[in-house]
Structure 1
Amino acid sequence: MMSQVQEPTVATPVKKKRLLSIDALRGFDMFWILGGEKLFAAFFIITGWSLFHIGAEQMQHSAWHGFTAYDLIFPLFIFLSGVSLGIAAKPLSSYPPRQAKAILLQGVKRLVLLIIFGVLYNHGWGTGMPASPEDIRYASVLGRIGISWFIAALLVWYVSERTQWIVAVAILVIYWLLLSFVSIGELGGGNFTAEGALNVWFDQTFLPGTTYRNLPLDPEGILSNVNSVVNALIGVFIGRYMIKHQANAQYLLIRLVILAGVLLLLGYVWGQFFPINKTLWTSSFVLVTTGYSVLLLALFYALVDVICLTRWAKFFAVIGTNSIIVYLGSSLINWQYTSKSLFGGLIKIAPAGWQDIILFGGMLLLQWLVLYWLYCRKIFIKV
């Protein structure tokens, strides 16, 4: 009788709270893509506070080497896809053969759809989808998310946890050795520039279609996809760790913070020899971004699961539960035009600074309301 009373109070709520914190963090991540990053510059114009100026600078990608907060958006999403995988997935050998086959096929379907949606996102503006296959950009953010998730899923489904750890470490080290010491013609051999890195040869030789802005190196190119798998794998390890220690929130929080610190320390130290670079997706970049990702997850876990401050989390969860719609919508719908159409009168009479707040705040509000409408009707479009 005691087990009947304890079962619902221990197992069920923990699962719901954990999922809310992950959805909230995913929504927080996507919030900046909706237009949230533009508010810092607007607030700086109004207040003149240097804090907002720093925030506006952090909402720009690094010019080349280095790291900004905006550089974290993409790898954080990959990391969270791994966390969800680590929480829910298990080896396919533990399923009946027919169910295992269905799970594998669903994974392949997800990969293909994300690649297709990525191509659609790339050509959502301007002249539209090119008629010639050679003019299509096949590499994409969604494609990388699909590839990193799928390879991580295959490892979870088919190999042991120990092997997964070995693969993660091996990828980081081999990628570093490859870019640092292997050269093909004049490319590589420790050249980490946009024109001379070994990645250029891979993209020019194997990447079909065109590259981003017809540059020699695509930021979502062939070789750097390999290292992004580790972002997902570290997410898998963290997801498993959360499940294992879910009964002791304080212990889990402390360990997550310590792990985040170790990853950041290793990443910044390695960055002295192998520069932190988003486009090359260097091994130091992987460690730094996963370090900050774990730190953010610990923060959201503490606020949502431990302190139980859930109301604010639901604001971001509304975004996080339909993240694919958020991302595609940012390319296929001109939300800035829509905001101007609805709030144009207020924008014209508002003083400088406030014009941008009304414009971009309107964009955020309109997108959030659409997502909230889907959320209330439990319409979650997932791939």
Structure 2
Amino acid sequence: MSGPAQQSAPTAQRPAGPQRRVTSLDVVRGLMLVVSVSVNSLLLTPAWFDHAEWAGVNGLDLVFPVFVALTGCGLGFAMHRRTDVRGLARRVFVLVAIGLLYNAVVLASWEPATWRFTGVLQLYAGVVVVIALGHLITRTARGWLVVTVVLALAHTAVLAAYATTCPGGALTRECNPSGAADTAVFGAAHVYWQGAAGHDPEGLVATLGACVSAAAGACVGHLLLTVRARGGGPRRAVGPVLAVCAAFAALAWLTATAPGLLAGVDVPVMKRLWTAPFALAVTAGTGLALLAGHLLLDSARTPAALRRAAWPLEALGRNSLLVYFGSHVVMSLLVQHADAEGRTLAQRIAAAVAVGGHEQVSFTVLVVLAWTALAAVLHHWRIYLRP
């Protein structure tokens, strides 16, 4: 994951009244959560799928960025009319506090002197701040496209400028702005691997990259809302969404090639520094998935049978924060301690529920069904955990 939570403090809330939602957003989030929970349930992650050690992108590198892009879209829906600044401050405080607790649980370390101040929830809080404050400036798809371009160019400029100080003009684990900035701001004892990794995949530099993903997601969200407000059905969104996704792809190409052409430095496509080409490419793909879901599920002609079939995914999507981060916490607890034979609790459960000797498949199915059942119950009672 780089591996939880979302309105006021993360507490269960009941909506004040019925809302006309964009179902496709919830369903696509639900599909992403099925993948995320399945990945979390792996008793052994294959090297080819695990996070890339530095440059490049493996399968696991895509899960959290897709979540962030969808979060940006969701925040665009939620804040298209107003931004609650006072509530924002409270939410950010709670997210950061729970982030520290989350780190302590995942890392099995409760020593304040070595608590990791950076982390996924802290990164998530930073994204929420930027997108919320951005909605004080603009609430249009065009405005958020401009914000996306500015953030992408700024992030690329920071990386390219730092790369000019590195041997051969290449960012490496030993020479990059993340290691320098996060260690200086938070202290080596409070960052990823206590500074030994030379970078922090959820630190300040990565947070700026995550904001590129979220801003691009917000652009897609506002575009869908604008098209919807004008009427005419989901098909009218095809041209605009394809155009903005093409713009993201073009900007990804530009930010990947411009540093080499202009300054002779290399800014690789990667998750570890959440570079702009990576962020934009992932969000372009996410936008296309949202468009497909929009065409299938948000039409007045959508068959009732399809809506019923998508309901479990919608339930997952409505509590995406709880399921995404909750699954990480639970799995972390299940693998922390081993018995005398060296088997973790997760491995013992997998052996107990195995069907036909397929421990991993049986365990994954069990975990996905358990989180889906919880989300379905909460959705039935209209109880949601929000950012």
TM-score category of the 2 structures, normalised to the smaller one: 0.7 to 0.9
Distance (whole Å) between structure 1 residues aligned to residue 278 and residue 19 of structure 2: 32
Distance (whole Å) between structure 2 residues aligned to residue 224 and residue 196 of structure 1: 15
Measure how far apart 1:86 and its partner are: 2.1
**Is residue 2:53 matched to residue 1:63?**
yes
**Is residue 2:102 matched to residue 1:109?**
no
TM-score by length of 2: 0.77
Measure how far apart 1:265 and its partner are: 4.3
* Equivalent in the alignment of 2:368: 364
Aligned residue type for 1:359: F
1:176 to 150, 156, 159: 156
- Change in Cα spacing, 1:261 to 1:338, as seen in structure 2 (3 Å) is farther
Equivalent pair of 2:144/2:218 in contact (CA under 8 Å): no
What stretches of structure 1 of length at least 5 have no aligned partner?
1-11, 43-55, 93-99
User: Rg: which structure is higher?
Assistant: 1
- Change in Cα spacing, 1:24 to 1:59, as seen in structure 2 (3 Å) is farther
Measure how far apart 1:218 and its partner are: 0.7
Distance (whole Å) between structure 2 residues aligned to residue 149 and residue 115 of structure 1: 11
- Change in Cα spacing, 1:63 to 1:182, as seen in structure 2 (3 Å) is closer
Distance (whole Å) between structure 1 residues aligned to residue 315 and residue 49 of structure 2: 22
Distance (whole Å) between structure 2 residues aligned to residue 73 and residue 343 of structure 1: 23
Q: Deviations over 1:266-318 (max 9, x none)?
A: 42454344321111111211211211111111122122113453233222222
Equivalences for residues 1-383 of structure 1 within 5 A: 15-16=20-21, 18=22, 20-36=23-39, 59-90=49-80, 103-125=84-106, 127-132=108-113, 135-158=114-137, 165-182=145-162, 190-208=169-187, 209-214=189-194, 215-246=197-228, 247-248=231-232, 249-268=234-253, 270-272=255-257, 273=260, 274-306=267-299, 307-308=302-303, 309-333=306-330, 334=333, 344-347=351-354, 350-351=356-357, 354-383=358-387
Measure how far apart 1:32 and its partner are: 2.2
Q: Deviations over 1:231-283 (max 9, x none)?
A: 22222222221111112321202332343234234424543443211111112
Give 1 or 2: higher helix fraction: 1
Distance (whole Å) between structure 2 residues aligned to residue 350 and residue 227 of structure 1: 44
Aligned residue type for 2:20: K
Aligned length: 342
User: Matched residue of 1:195: which SS?
Assistant: coil
User: Matched residue of 2:135: which SS?
Assistant: helix
Q: Deviations over 1:57-103 (max 9, x none)?
A: 874333322234432222222222222232232465xxxxxxx7xx2
User: Matched residue of 2:20: which SS?
Assistant: helix
Aligned residue type for 2:108: T
Equivalent pair of 2:43/2:346 in contact (CA under 8 Å): no
- Change in Cα spacing, 1:380 to 1:346, as seen in structure 2 (3 Å) is closer
User: Matched residue of 1:245: which SS?
Assistant: helix
What stretches of structure 2 of length at least 5 have no aligned partner?
1-16, 261-266, 336-343
- Change in Cα spacing, 1:145 to 1:125, as seen in structure 2 (3 Å) is closer
Higher relative contact order (CA 8 A, sep 6+): 2
Aligned residue type for 1:82: G
Aligned residue type for 1:29: M
Equivalent pair of 1:343/1:362 in contact (CA under 8 Å): no
